[in-house]
A and B are shown apart, each in its own frame.
Chain A
Amino acid sequence: QKEVEQNSGPLSVPEGAIASLNCTYSDRGSQSFFWYRQYSGKSPELIMSIYSNGDKEDGRFTAQLNKASQYVSLLIRDSQPSDSATYLCAGGYGNNRLAFGKGNQVVVIP
Chain B
Amino acid sequence: EPEVTQTPSHQVTQMGQEVILRCVPISNHLYFYWYRQILGQKVEFLVSFYNNEISEKSEIFDDQFSVERPDGSNFTLKIRSTKLEDSAMYFCASSDLQASGGYTFGSGTRLTVV
Instruction: Enumerate chain A interface residues (CB-CB to B < 8 A).
Output: 31-32, 34, 42-46, 49, 51, 88, 90, 92, 94-103
Our pick among A43, A45, A90, A102 for the contact of B101 (Cβ within 8 Å) is A90
The answer for the CA separation of A102 and B41 in the assembled complex, in Å, is: 7
CB neighbours (8 Å) of B91 from chain A are 43-44
A46 vs B102: C-alpha distance when bound (angstroms): 7
Are B105 and A96 in contact, with the CB atoms below 8 A?
A: no
Residue of A nearest to B100 (CB): A32
Please determine whether B45 and A97 come into contact, CB atoms closer than 8 angstroms: yes
Are A51 and B100 in touch, CB under 8 angstroms? Answer: yes
> Does B95 count as interface, using CB distance less than 8 angstroms?
yes
Residue contact B56 to A88, C-beta cutoff 8 Å: no
What residue in chain A is nearest B108 (Cβ atoms)? A43
Complex Cα distance, B104 from A45, in Å, reads 7
B interface with A by C-beta (< 8 Å): 31, 33, 35, 41-45, 48, 50, 55-56, 58, 89, 91, 95, 99-108
Residues of B with C-beta under 8 A to A49: 100-102
Whether the Cβ atoms of B41 and A34 lie closer than 8 Å is no
Q: Are A95 and B106 in contact (CB under 8 A)?
A: no
Judge whether B107 and A96 touch: CB under 8 Å: no
Q: A43-B107, A95-B50 are in contact. Are A100 and B102 (CB under 8 A)?
A: no
A98–B101 CB distance below 8 A: yes
Q: Which residues of A sit under 8 angstroms from B58, Cβ to Cβ?
A: 97
Whether A99 contacts B45 in the complex (CB less than 8 A), given A34-B102, A43-B91, comes out as yes
Asked if B56 and A95 sit within 8 Å, CB to CB, the answer is yes
Residues on the A chain within 8 Å of B108, using CB: 42-43
- Check B42–A102 contact: CB distance below 8 A: yes
Distance in angstroms between the alpha carbons of A64 and B53 in the assembled complex: 35
Known: A43-B91, A95-B48. A88 touches B43 (CB 8 A): yes
What chain B residues lie within 8 Å of A44 (beta carbons)?
A: 43, 91, 105
| Interface pair A96/B100, CB less than 8 Å apart | yes
Residue of A32, A45, A88, A100 ringed by the most chain B CB atoms within 10 A: A100
Can you list 18 A-B pairs with a CB-CB distance of less than 8 A? A32-B102, A34-B102, A42-B108, A43-B106, A43-B107, A44-B43, A46-B102, A46-B103, A51-B100, A90-B101, A92-B100, A95-B48, A96-B31, A96-B99, A96-B103, A97-B45, A97-B56, A101-B42
